[in-house]
A and B are shown apart, each in its own frame.
Chain A
Amino acid sequence: MLDQMIRRAFEQMAGSDQPPARVSITHAIRRARVQRRRQALTAAGAPVLAAGAVVAIGLAGVIGLTGRAQAPAGGSTAGTAAAPRYFSLLRPYAAFGWLPDGTSLSQTRDGLGQDALLLWGRMDTHTQLAIYAAGRCKVSGHTLRCNVAGQPIASQALGGLVGDVDGHRAYWASEHLSIGVSPSLARRTLHLTAGALCWQYARGGWAVLDAPNLRDALRMAVSIRIGPDVSPPVRFALQLTGVPADWQVNAVAAGWRDGILYATSYQITVGRADIGPEGDPSQPATPSVQIGPGSKGACPQAEPSTVINGYPVRLWGPNETWADPELCAPDADGLFVWIQVSPRPIISPAEMFGHHLRLLGPDPAHWTTQPIG
């Protein structure tokens, strides 16, 4: 009987009318091309950049740059200014301004890195901006090669000079031309609908903007702001306390809410550790803390529940399904908290939640810019 019920439920779902698809084959192809380039390079052993996303509409609203291009603000893009040697994990060094119409993000995701910063949109927009710290990129012939943590992470076959961004020459780079491709071939690829715009945003520092097309890329690029003061610091709804001195924030994912840039998740490592591909906190060293301040979260109902410090939590793993011990608290003083510890369990999620986590409540005004107190 049960299996019949299951079959019937599936059949009813599968037989329902499909709403108009939000799936774009064109975007998939473009996105795949960007991923392929990155995968090829990361497969060579690069512990990748910090990663992140900036929301199109949300960010535009926050910084007031909707619909028209503006010159970048901040002094770091001045012609003789030097690019920073490292980026802060706690304050983005760049921000999008204008983004193409139709770009809409249901969730934002910022990742911040020390060697490079990557901002991207949701999966169906393939708009991505990589900002490299000083000395990480070099031009050799017609190829721009960038390294992170000493490992090659990206190469762009620079094509034609297509304009300037804040007084810096900008080149249109084709997507799939590998190192050593001839300049003439690179130029012939300018008609491609997707590519990357490359320019030196400051002395020693390069920016690479993956974009749907050259026209949008240029418009986006001139509205991008790069510098230490272009973004507010990331705020954290939780603060770790009483943890060893060598614990440090190693990656941050952030988003915007009500004009506040806040961490939606962040990763803690013991000492300096390489971050996962694209700085994804889901592939952390240990331990990783993921936070979702808001009301959208729901904990897996099938997992056993308990109470810690008066808050209902669910604890599970490691088991056959989940490799890592995890904790989910659906409402911890107004916060949704998810903790995952991997791969070396130096602390249990319950211990972290019960003894080392300071909950700062749902009001962003009370959140901190120091995730480790």
Chain B
Amino acid sequence: MSAGRDAEFTEYVSARLPALRRLALLLCHNWHGADDLAQAAITKLYLHWGKAQASDSVDAYARTILVREFLHERRLGWARRVTLTDQPPEVAASEADKDSSLDVRAAIAALPPRQRAVLVLRYHYDLNVDQTANVLGCSAGTVKSQTARALAALRRTLGTTADAEPGPSCAAHNHGEITSNA
């Protein structure tokens, strides 16, 4: 890779690193793991920098790499063993939302990685089913089923709070077919 391309890569990552770390945090739920994930992702991004630049959106390409790297690492027993935890996430919550927010975060952190990734992509990045499927490299049906399972698991974990106030219909979010009933 030429020095010029190295410079372009460095410039891009320098500018977008906060966003990549933020996504990594949402997936990992701790900064240590997030930085390791971001490090791995930008390493892979460098390997595919040419394709990334040729894609429609370098940001989307980088996001896909990071999410897939997250899932890949979790497929390896090592990563799952050392990072999965039922401890509260490191990020502080505001006082008002502390209890419920920490509950939700802990419940999300306990989800299997793929379900967690689906929630991040659909609920935070507002990707639809097809877009999420593209990022994850799976079918739209898998995205739907993973979403449904994730929501069902959260309902079980969070108990009556979520059940007592069922969410609005999926159409309200314009996210495609988020299944609210597992």
| B-binding residues in A (CB < 8 A) | 1-14, 16, 18-19, 21-25, 27-29, 31-32, 35-36, 39, 106-107, 109, 123-124, 176, 253, 264-265, 280-282, 288, 290, 292, 296-302, 320-322, 326, 336, 338, 340
Contacts and interface: CB of A to CB of B under 8 A. Distances in A.
Contacts of B100: 5
A23 B26 CA distance: 17
A6 B75 contact: no
Interface of B: 1, 6, 9-10, 13-14, 17-18, 21-22, 25-26, 29, 31-32, 35-36, 38-40, 42-47, 75-78, 80-82, 84-86, 89, 91-94, 97, 100-101, 104-105, 108, 110-112, 114-115, 119-120, 123-124, 142, 145-146, 151, 153-155, 158, 161-162, 164-168, 173, 178, 180
Contacts of A124: 39
B105 A9 contact: yes
B55 to A, nearest CB: 18
A23 B22 CA distance: 13
Contacts of A253: 78
Nearest to A11: B124
Q: What 10 A-B pairs have minimum CB-CB distances, sorted nearest first?
A: A1-B165, A282-B76, A32-B46, A10-B124, A22-B35, A9-B104, A290-B77, A28-B43, A2-B162, A28-B42
B96 to A, nearest CB: 11
10 contacts: A2-B180, A7-B123, A12-B94, A13-B25, A22-B35, A23-B35, A29-B10, A290-B78, A321-B146, A336-B81
Given A22-B35, A25-B42, A27-B39, A8 B101 contact: yes
Contacts of A16: 25, 91-92
Contacts of A336: 81
A31 B39 CA distance: 10
B181 to A, nearest CB: 11
A136 B2 CA distance: 32
Contacts of A8: 97, 101, 104
Nearest to B115: A321
Nearest to A283: B76
A3 B173 contact: yes
Contact of A2 (B47, B86, B92, B167): B167
Nearest to B10: A25
A18 B35 CA distance: 11
A27 B36 CA distance: 12
A6 B78 contact: no
Nearest to B87: A298
A265 B10 CA distance: 36
Given A1-B165, A28-B43, 8 more contacts: A12-B93, A13-B29, A21-B17, A264-B78, A288-B77, A290-B78, A292-B82, A320-B145
B111 A338 contact: no
A302 B153 contact: yes
A338 B77 contact: yes
Nearest to B23: A14
Contacts of B26: 10, 13-14
Contact of A3 (B84, B101, B153, B167): B167
Contact of B154 (A2, A298, A321): A2
